[in-house]
Amino acid sequence: MKTSLFCSRLFAVALLGAGVVGCGSSSTTSTTDADGSPAAESSLTGDIQINGSSTVLPIGNAIKEQFDAEFPNVNITVGGAGTGNGFKDFADKTTDISEASRPIKAGEWEACKASGVEFVELPVAYDGLTIVIHPENDWVKQLTVDQLKAIFVGSEAANKWSEVDPSWPDREIKIFAPGVGSGTYDYFHEVLAKKDKAALREDMTLNEDDNVLVQGVAGNKDSIGFFGVAYYEENKDKLQAVPVVNPDSGEAVLPNKETIASGEYAPFSRPLFIYVNAESLNKAQVQAFVEYFLENVPETAEKVGYVRLPEEVMARSVANLDALKTGSHFVDADGESRSGSVVDIFTDENLISE
């Protein structure tokens, strides 16, 4: 099915410029001259199709650019149509890798089973779903989960800021949110409303492109929106992140590397994933890219604004890829989604393969 662990290690050596790799159907050369210029171009070729989360997209694009420099003859397409849309393509076998800002759902897994798609589930980074307002908004200092529910949940949600807090302006709230095909939308809905079997309000301005949401919030003083922390970090000169009150500690917390990794930024700290079609790992270029992804994602995730996962989680991702362990840790045998920290859930005991 996949190249052996031995071949994987040889590949890692090749990435360091050691010479020729001869595993599976392809070979690679990655040597350099004394002046650092490429002496031989990689012979690894083929296509890789990736689609899914716009939150994970900055990581995917950054890894692609790095991989392109090492293996210029591999053609990689990376899309950001949203986690839900990505899983549809994944189940239809039109992609090799699905990027996701939430774990796969039972229904999406059933679609994969129906089409014969087995997958390896790989957590790759932490994100803090970030609530943003206009920088000239001088009345919102923090938000509780109940206040977020008042703004975002149901047909009776607040239309004006004064309906959330009487001391706030009597002006209409403008809301910008990811599209319903987005994992960020799903995660936000799950945190605020799924337990109550309620829906998010339907009159929000939705878009799958997080850059459009950034422009929407930045363009109106009465606006509010949410997306992954990387998009806030990239646009923090024209946005203001809102501290969210941790329901357990009662403390208002801003998303940053420390608070996301510790879980203090609750309830909006979450893991990000890639899902890899096991059959696609028969293709040398996919096998090479996924190994490269796992090797480089801790540093790359931090560069684009996300947070690296604990070493024990990344080590398990690498081990699961090497052993080709298929299935999900985040859906139990009864088809229910597991909730909790990625450290507690991403264990061998929780892996369900069928």
Class of domain 128-262: alpha beta
pLDDT above 80: residue 310: yes
Q: Please write the tens of the pLDDT for every residue from 236-245.
A: 999 999 999 9
At residue 37, the pLDDT reads 52
What H or E segment, with its residue span, contains residue 264?
Answer: none
At residue 98, the pLDDT reads 98
Q: Where residue 337 falls among pLDDT bands split at 50, 70, 90?
A: confident
Q: Where residue 24 falls among pLDDT bands split at 50, 70, 90?
A: very low
CA distance 156 to 158: 7
* Average pLDDT value for the chain: 89
Q: Please write the tens of the pLDDT for every residue from 214-241.
A: 999 999 999 999 999 999 999 999 999 9
φ, ψ at 311 (rounded to 5°): -60, -35
Identical fold, 46-126+271-345 and 128-262: yes
Please report, for the chain, the start and end positions of each structural domain, with discontinuous segments joined by +: 46-126+271-345, 128-262
- Cα 7 to chain centroid, rounded: 28
**How many CB atoms are closer than 10 A to CB 31?**
13
At residue 276, the pLDDT reads 98
- Which 8-state DSSP code applies to residue 132? E
At residue 341, the pLDDT reads 84
Q: Lowest mean pLDDT of 9-18, 51-60, 153-162, name the range.
A: 9-18
In CATH, the number for domain 46-126+271-345 is 3.40.190.10
At residue 177, the pLDDT reads 96
Name the pairing type of β-strands 244-245 and 252-253. antiparallel
The whole-model pTM stands at: 0.84
Q: Lowest mean pLDDT of 16-30, 90-104, 135-149, 331-345, name the range.
A: 16-30
Name the pairing type of β-strands 252-253 and 46-52. unpaired
Nearest to 101 by CA among 298, 275, 290: 275
Instruction: Output the CA–CA distances (angstroms, integers) from residue 286 to 3, 15, 204, 226, 240, in the order listed.
Output: 11, 15, 38, 33, 39
Q: Please write the tens of the pLDDT for every residue from 91-123.
A: 999 999 999 999 999 999 999 999 999 999 999
At residue 13, the pLDDT reads 39
Higher pLDDT, 153 or 197: 153
